[in-house]
């Protein structure tokens, strides 16, 4: 069994002096990070689908065994709520497969207002290509055996975030 250890994101100015050297330019943060961790979650992909050049840069700056967990675009998870988004999903998956072996799971983080809809999830999963994925449901109605069985049938992980209230 393999384990990848990392953080949600890597490019934080406030980490300078604690994790990153004070004088490290932002352009050098990913290679520095990738020497110390084996994965990172990319939140950037929630807001926009990366350009092929960005994917190439990520690959060039990381070792072969490094993995990127990419957050699915909000256009899929929040705006469309998994409905009528086949074109966006197809394009996103096409772009990110350029990461090759460095592609870790795609994280589908659903909004807290999105209540359980097994039919919508099942329909969406039929459109989703065979690649690693995780779903983070933020409404309690999703947490039941029907949904767990649906995810299990596609080898899709359940992501549970445990965060402190600030």
pLDDT at 103 over 80: yes
pLDDT bucket at 24, cuts 50 / 70 / 90: very high
Give domain limits for the chain.
18-158
* Location of structure tokens 């290509």: 129
pTM score: 0.92
pLDDT at 22 over 60: yes
Beta-carbon contacts of residue 92 (< 8 Å; ≥ 6 apart): 45, 49, 72, 73, 76
pLDDT bucket at 165, cuts 50 / 70 / 90: low
Tokens of residue 27, six digits: 């352009």
Task: Report yes or no: 73 and 45 within 8 Å, Cβ to Cβ.
Answer: yes
Pick the CATH number of 18-158 from 3.40.50.2300, 1.10.10.410, 3.20.20.410, 3.40.50.970: 3.20.20.410
* Section 125-138 average pLDDT: 96
pLDDT at 89 over 90: yes
Predicted pLDDT of residue 108 = 99
Decide which of 162 and 67 is more confident: 67
**Is residue 149 classed as helix, strand or coil in its secondary structure?**
helix
pLDDT in tens, 35-78: 999 999 999 999 999 999 999 999 999 999 999 999 999 999 99
Q: Which residue(s) pair with 42 in the sheet?
A: 70
């Amino acid at each position: 069994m393999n384990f990848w250890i990392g953080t949600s994101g890597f490019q934080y100015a406030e980490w300078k002096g604690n994790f990153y050297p004070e004088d490290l330019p932002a352009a050098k943060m990913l290679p520095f990070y990738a020497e110390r961790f084996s994965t990172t979650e990319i939140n950037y992909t929630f807001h926009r689908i990366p350009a092929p050049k960005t994917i190439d840069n990520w690959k060039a700056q990381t070792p072969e065994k490094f993995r990127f967990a990419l957050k699915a675009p909000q256009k899929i998870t929040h705006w469309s709520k998994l409905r009528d988004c086949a074109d966006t999903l197809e394009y996103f998956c096409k772009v990110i497969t350029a990461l090759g072996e460095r592609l870790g799971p795609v994280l589908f983080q659903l909004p807290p207002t999105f209540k359980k809809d097994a039919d919508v999830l099942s329909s969406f999963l039929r459109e989703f290509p065979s690649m690693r994925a995780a779903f983070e449901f933020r409404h309690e109605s999703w947490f039941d055996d029907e949904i767990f069985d649906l995810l299990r049938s596609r080898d899709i992980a359940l992501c549970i975030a445990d965060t402190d209230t600030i």
